Amino acid sequence: MDRGFFTILGAQFLSALADNALFIAAIALLKSQHASQVEVSLLLHFFTISYVVLSPFVGAFADAIPKGTVMLICNGIKFVGCLGMLLGLDPLLAYAIVGFGAAAYSPAKYGIITEYLPHDKLVIANGWLEGSTVGAIILGTVLGGLLVGPNVTQLLENSGSPVSGPLFGILSTTLLYLGAALINLRIPKLNVDHKVPHRNPMYLLHDFWHCVKLLWRDPQGQLSLAVTTLFWGSGATMRLIVLDWAIIWLSFNLEQATRLIAIVAFGTAFGAVLAGRYIQLQNAFRVLPAGILMGGLVIAMLFVHNVYVAAVLMFIVGALGGFFVVPLNAMLQHRGHLLMGAGHSIAVQNFNENLGILVMVGIHAALVKFMSSPVPADAAPVVADYYAKAGGMPPMISIVVGFGLLLAVVMTIITLLHRRRLRNGEMLH
């Protein structure tokens, strides 16, 4: 791995760091405005919708100009979304603008790796990339929790600052986006030509749909895409689940709860590095059983009330996720690059994965809306304070059991399907 690769990695890291700090700051901003728990769940929904809507077009955009330039433009869009929050725009709408920038950023971020490196280094590169992303999730989540936590809030109040903790957190993320933009300027430009021959929107829609069908009909691409779609849908929902679980089961405040999310992310980084080191591209599908075990461990959350046991459990869950998603992500990128070009492939991947996020986060929001219960009179003070103005407490038992079973059952089906295709010789090309 040379200097150019680590420049790409650095730009991606700072942008992802800002994304995750902003997520926590936006939650805190909604809570300070006495928003309902449903609105907090919908925050990810608003962020993700751009990925789905723009997928037919961002792949062509990422393939048409240098991907470092694409990343620079997208960081600018994210910066505008931050400014919107600071200037009083509805947090959900402002976060949707950030999601707009992130949607166009992702094909360039992953696509440039596929174009820059030979295919035999993709698993290692993805280990670095996913490890860096998860590192940004860890630090960004912790940073967001610190910026909106009681210590910083008290410091701001004592200094007479008119800026609240949430707004201070949002303001801080703008500096991270600026730093990412500066690194973007030094990303290598590559002589790769995958331009779409037409700019007509209808042609782009037709071209995109053709790529979707092409990847889903490819035996290796189909299974890889199914797993990564499930993983990212689960990962987004898991952040909301762990947040509520930490507050209700462990009596954590928001800042403390973000640390458990960070531990999950740290485990994912550990699993990603292990996969990058020990799993070759041709053996990518051997990691499927890890997803089944991950679903079972999610259900085990309901039996944990000790902080240290919770931390260990979250680390293991994250490690299993990182271990099984990195090789399959590399396989998906490899097949997509061969079939349609890097930018198009990542756009198709984003469309499916974020459609999975929309569905799973939508189900979570529906459960919260229709099954939440009043805060018990004997609830811990931190629980009562967090949920009193949010319309009640979410149905954690139903959410955790349903989520864990879904993950385990779907991964079991994918594993059995893969084994059947191996016996039939369908995975040999």
Is 196 a member of any domain?
Answer: no
Residues 6 or more apart whose CB falls under 8 angstroms from that of 338 comprise: none
Exposed, middle or buried: residue 47 (CB in 10 Å: 0-12, 13-18, 19+)?
Answer: buried
Give me the helices (H) in 218-341, please.
219-250, 254-278, 289-299, 307-340
Is 412 a member of any domain?
Answer: yes
What mean pLDDT comes out for the span 135-162? 85
Q: Which residue has the tokens 């929001």?
A: 365
Q: Could you report the per-residue pLDDT of 172-188, keeping only the tens digit for each?
A: 988 898 888 888 888 77
The pLDDT of residue 161 is above 70: yes
Would you state the pLDDT for residue 96?
Answer: 92
Would you state the pLDDT for residue 314?
Answer: 93
Q: Could you report the per-residue pLDDT of 341-392, keeping only the tens digit for each?
A: 666 777 788 788 889 999 998 888 888 888 888 888 888 888 888 887 666 7
Return the closest-CA partner of residue 60 out of 209, 261, 179.
Answer: 209
Which of the 8 DSSP states describes residue 162?
A: S
The pLDDT of residue 323 is above 90: no
Question: By three-state DSSP, how is residue 373 classified?
Answer: strand
pLDDT band at 198 (very low <50, low <70, confident <90, very high): low
Would you state the pLDDT for residue 18?
Answer: 92
* Domain carrying residue 296: 3-185+201-423
Is 385 a member of any domain?
Answer: yes
Domains identified in the chain, total number: 1
| CATH number assigned to the domain comprising residue 414 | 1.20.1250.20
Q: Could you report the per-residue pLDDT of 222-276, keeping only the tens digit for each?
A: 888 888 888 888 888 888 899 899 999 998 988 888 889 889 888 887 888 888 7
Is 399 a member of any domain?
Answer: yes
Which of the 8 DSSP states describes residue 376?
A: P
Is 193 a member of any domain?
Answer: no
Mean residue pLDDT of the chain comes to 84
Is 191 a member of any domain?
Answer: no
Is 192 a member of any domain?
Answer: no
Give me the helices (H) in 341-395, please.
342-371, 381-387
Would you state the pLDDT for residue 261?
Answer: 86
Would you state the pLDDT for residue 400?
Answer: 93
pTM tops 0.85: no
% of the chain residues with pLDDT over 90: 17
What mean pLDDT comes out for the span 116-138? 75
Return the closest-CA partner of residue 295 out of 130, 399, 410, 416.
Answer: 410
What angle do the packed helices 122-148 and 91-116 form, to 10 degrees? 160
pLDDT band at 197 (very low <50, low <70, confident <90, very high): low
What mean pLDDT comes out for the span 391-414? 90
What mean pLDDT comes out for the span 284-293? 86
Is 115 a member of any domain?
Answer: yes
Distance CA 9, CA 276 (A): 15
